[in-house]
Structure 1
Amino acid sequence: MKRLVLATATAVSALSATSAFAEPLKIGIIESLSGAQTSTGRLYANAVKYGVDRINAAGGFNGEPVVVTEYDNAGGAPEAADKFRKAVADGVDVIFQGASSAIAGQLTEDVRKHNIRNPGKEVIFINLGADAMELTGAKCQFYHFRYTATAPMRVNALVSAMKEAGDLGKNVYSINQNYSWGQDMQAAVAAAAEGGGYKVVGEVLHDVNKIQDFAPFVARIRAASADTVFTGNWSNDLLLLMKAAGDAGLDVTFATAFLDQPGNIANAGKTALGHYIANNYDNAATDGKFAEAFKTATGHYPIFVEGHSAFALGALQQALGTVNFNGGEIDVTKIALALENTTYETPLGPISVRKEDHQTIRPVVVSKVVEKPKYPADDTDMGFQTVKVIAGDAAIYPVQESCKMERPKQ
């Protein structure tokens, strides 16, 4: 049995008298909590803690409060590997991570190898934001669950909504960062061309967060007579690209994946108006009840990755409600089996897990930037207005042939 963890008197009093002898479920957040991705990593951690607080308020699990420990990977895969080893030594049952597909690729392989070597002491990896296709393709494995949309899901949603709104155009330019995520976006834009009725008039893959002047790229976009620019860029690569387009007076519509990253709207200013984003969640697409509950608990409305990450914890809570270890040793495999059989109802629609690759089948929200929205962004008078919510069964794509998932023996 793993070592016991002391809980506060309040938490203990809410649980059964036998909780002192029970084994707690331990969650580890292996996230970028220092370095360039700190702001995003902290949002993932906020959402996990929000979800765990709800589980504990409802009585915890297995007779104990769920225990959460943060591990700072400092934005690097080697550091994440080190922190995974520390988490395993601490007896963590479930790890959460979202900022960076490179880190997720390291963690999913670490989890796979650990679980092979330690039958009966498995660890689950719940991926909140790493979108690289290979994670549910060549690297798919039973103990990895992805609770975020991928490039094809986002691109297909954008194409559907923008075409319906008359904002797609006939000429599309694709510009993305040159790593797995950007390459996936470029491939998805090309794959959607026939169905979207557009021509890809240019493609660029560039270095990640190293370009200081996007004016030459904007000149190429102008020369290609593009109507729409699809980009999976994030951070400065998105902001500087949009600013360069605005400074050049380039009349195009941006179709993005991360325009709602904190600071982007404030920094882009009026340049952001009219541009699109496809994402897992948008406050404006809901009845507002979840947004208000989140604000009551945390002091702010859910932003960027917090909403959909909180839903992943809701799915976990629902799954935990279907297994009972009677206070004894926790069987992680049984929790994983319960999770892949869970359909969680969110304010946007149901989220389920596809058993063949553990990609979530989930709604995708397409929004555009407007003035005077219901939920302003970055303390400005601008924010997102929902254009269309694509249901999960319409957003999903076939299982990749490269996924050869081995299931545990039962």
Structure 2
Amino acid sequence: MKLKRRDVLKIVGAGAAVAGSGTLLGGVARAQSKDPLKIGFISSLTGAQAPIGQPMLLGAQIAVDQVNQAGGVNGRKLELVIRDDKAKPADATVAARELAGSGVNLQMGVVSSAVALALTAMLEQEKAVLITCAAHSDKLTKENFSRNYFRVTDNPYMKLRFMARALAERYGAVSRWSGLVPDHEYGRTTWNCFEEGLLEYYPSVAKKEPSISQALKTQYGATDYRNVIGSAMGLPADGFFVSVYGGDAVTLFKQAQPYGFFRKAKVVVDPANEFVVAKAMKRELPEMWCGSHWYAGAFEDLPLSNAVLKEHVRRTNDPYPTGWVGEGHAAVMAYVKAIQEAGGTGTQAIVKALEGVTFDTVCGPRHFRREDHQAIKPLIMYRLRGSRTAAAGFEVLEYIKMPGQDFVDPPTPGKPLSFRYVKA
């Protein structure tokens, strides 16, 4: 479904038309230049992380098309300039420098935390701005913070403490936990944050001390997970946190089934993959909880969420968009409001504007925290299982949604994330 022009104008914050002037205050206006406003999109579009990067790109494209349908920003059309980083920091930095050198200083996307950390190190030198949609290393808004960097999505500390609290409320008897996590920045970060949540909420909510076995590490891009699955089968745990993501996760979950892993595990928590594994395994999908950046079923009261869902269905014939569609869309909407506020695309003016604007998204109004540029947004998780009757081959049984501000870490740019319970 395409949004009507008046609805898009409301979404992007355009004001009322000025009689006889041909302009609209604060938003869509008569063009001072016919050249498009370019936003660089850098993400993983091929390889194991493409199941994250491609939906992110689709969400950004939907947002660009909606804004252009309404007349553009300050009378100029938006245009995405797309680069595939293949989840490799070296490829990403080459792309970012090339984009900045050609005048594309507003950039977005990024799946890998390693890629994001490499890019933030060069932002000021290249006079560029970066909004990431999926990279979750706490270092990005902590010790490696750059004022030119913004995270439009939730971070692991807020998301995984939320998930741990919800699990403590529903599965208090499942108190023996372990994890299967990738042995790199993202995997270590997610496990530390989830363990922090278990140690914080099980005693207060479930009235029981959790027993936590050390997480098992997996290699990025592995094709054989049988050894780590066998090790997991021997652990004294009945709750498992699995933050392997993208194509790697599909491989791991498929290989885990013959071992009886999902019979051993009373609760499986997947913070990263949303519908990716479900779409691959379909009716063979075991029951699990998945964290999500955006689940359309939780936001049926929001016109923008409904419109993006319908447009996603129109373009893909898929009624289950992943949350990265929403985050790609949100990053474009953030830039739109910032360009309106700044009156242009100058780097420092955009940074200042992003620190102050509130922009509409598929999850409702969102803003970046001024101190560390972390977005504050609702947190969502849903329970999935395979189905022999559902058209998609799987079904969503229920969802949980809580305010992000209830779980977000204190802003401490320039300093490492501080844990109360975990010795990281």
TM range (shorter): 0.7 to 0.9
Deviation, structure 1 residue 240: 3.6
- SS state of the match for residue 342, structure 2? coil
Deviation string for 1:271-329 (max 9, x for gaps)?
5342011121112211174454225444244334102221232233233333335xxxx
Deviation string for 1:71-122 (max 9, x for gaps)?
233332212122112212221131012221121122111212223xxxxxxx
- Which residue does 1:393 correspond to in 2? 405
1:276/1:368 contact within 8 Å kept: yes
- SS state of the match for residue 244, structure 2? coil
- Which residue does 1:176 correspond to in 2? 181
Counterpart code for 2:337: Q
- Taking a change above 3 Å as real, the CA distance of residues 39 and 194 of structure 1, as seen in their structure-2 partners, is closer
Among residues 267, 272, 277, which one is paired with 1:258 in the alignment? 272
- Taking a change above 3 Å as real, the CA distance of residues 348 and 52 of structure 1, as seen in their structure-2 partners, is closer
- Which residue does 1:363 correspond to in 2? 378
Question: 1:354 aligned to 2:369?
Answer: yes
Counterpart code for 2:292: N
Identity, % of aligned pairs?
A: 20
Please give the alpha-carbon distance, in whole angstroms, between the structure 1 residues aligned to 2:36 and 2:282.
47
Counterpart code for 1:223: G
Question: 1:247 aligned to 2:258?
Answer: yes
Question: 1:238 aligned to 2:249?
Answer: yes
Deviation string for 1:203-226 (max 9, x for gaps)?
212211225033x43343333331
- Taking a change above 3 Å as real, the CA distance of residues 241 and 312 of structure 1, as seen in their structure-2 partners, is same
How large is the Cα RMSD of the aligned pairs? 2.9
Alignment of 1:1-400 (within 5 A): 19=31, 21=33, 24-115=36-127, 123-166=128-171, 169-197=174-202, 198-214=210-226, 216-249=227-260, 250-252=263-265, 253-262=267-276, 264-287=277-300, 289-298=303-312, 299-300=315-316, 301=319, 302-325=321-344, 330-370=345-385, 380-400=392-412
Please give the alpha-carbon distance, in whole angstroms, between the structure 2 residues aligned to 1:398 and 1:306.
28
- SS state of the match for residue 322, structure 1? helix
Deviation, structure 1 residue 360: 0.9
- SS state of the match for residue 383, structure 2? strand
- Taking a change above 3 Å as real, the CA distance of residues 171 and 25 of structure 1, as seen in their structure-2 partners, is same
Please give the alpha-carbon distance, in whole angstroms, between the structure 1 residues aligned to 2:162 and 2:368.
19
1:349/1:391 contact within 8 Å kept: no
Counterpart code for 1:183: R
- SS state of the match for residue 176, structure 1? strand
- Taking a change above 3 Å as real, the CA distance of residues 124 and 201 of structure 1, as seen in their structure-2 partners, is same
1:185/1:231 contact within 8 Å kept: no
Deviation, structure 1 residue 366: 1.0
- Taking a change above 3 Å as real, the CA distance of residues 167 and 304 of structure 1, as seen in their structure-2 partners, is farther
Please give the alpha-carbon distance, in whole angstroms, between the structure 2 residues aligned to 1:227 and 1:305.
30
- SS state of the match for residue 115, structure 2? helix
- SS state of the match for residue 81, structure 2? strand
Long gaps (5+) in structure 1: 1-12, 116-122, 405-410
Deviation, structure 1 residue 62: 3.4
1:157/1:366 contact within 8 Å kept: no
- SS state of the match for residue 192, structure 1? helix
Aligned length: 376
Counterpart code for 2:331: A
- Taking a change above 3 Å as real, the CA distance of residues 380 and 57 of structure 1, as seen in their structure-2 partners, is closer
1:182/1:232 contact within 8 Å kept: yes
Q: Which moved more, 1:313-322 or 1:44-53?
A: 313-322
Q: Which moved more, 1:169-178 or 1:197-206?
A: 197-206
Deviation string for 1:170-209 (max 9, x for gaps)?
1011220000000101211322232232221232122112
- SS state of the match for residue 69, structure 1? strand
Counterpart code for 2:168: K
- Taking a change above 3 Å as real, the CA distance of residues 269 and 307 of structure 1, as seen in their structure-2 partners, is same
Counterpart code for 1:37: Q
- SS state of the match for residue 239, structure 1? helix
Q: Which moved more, 1:330-339 or 1:33-42?
A: 33-42
- Taking a change above 3 Å as real, the CA distance of residues 195 and 202 of structure 1, as seen in their structure-2 partners, is same
- Taking a change above 3 Å as real, the CA distance of residues 195 and 37 of structure 1, as seen in their structure-2 partners, is closer
1:149/1:364 contact within 8 Å kept: yes
When the two structures are superposed, what TM-score results if normalisation uses the length of structure 1?
A: 0.82
Please give the alpha-carbon distance, in whole angstroms, between the structure 2 residues aligned to 1:270 and 1:396.
35
Please give the alpha-carbon distance, in whole angstroms, between the structure 2 residues aligned to 1:18 and 1:283.
34
- Taking a change above 3 Å as real, the CA distance of residues 209 and 334 of structure 1, as seen in their structure-2 partners, is same
Q: Which moved more, 1:270-279 or 1:43-52?
A: 270-279
1:174/1:189 contact within 8 Å kept: no
Long gaps (5+) in structure 2: 1-21, 203-209, 417-424
Q: Which moved more, 1:362-371 or 1:62-71?
A: 62-71
Deviation, structure 1 residue 25: 2.8
Please give the alpha-carbon distance, in whole angstroms, between the structure 1 residues aligned to 2:382 and 2:117.
29
Counterpart code for 2:373: H
Deviation, structure 1 residue 141: 0.9
- Taking a change above 3 Å as real, the CA distance of residues 205 and 334 of structure 1, as seen in their structure-2 partners, is same
When the two structures are superposed, what TM-score results if normalisation uses the length of structure 2?
A: 0.79
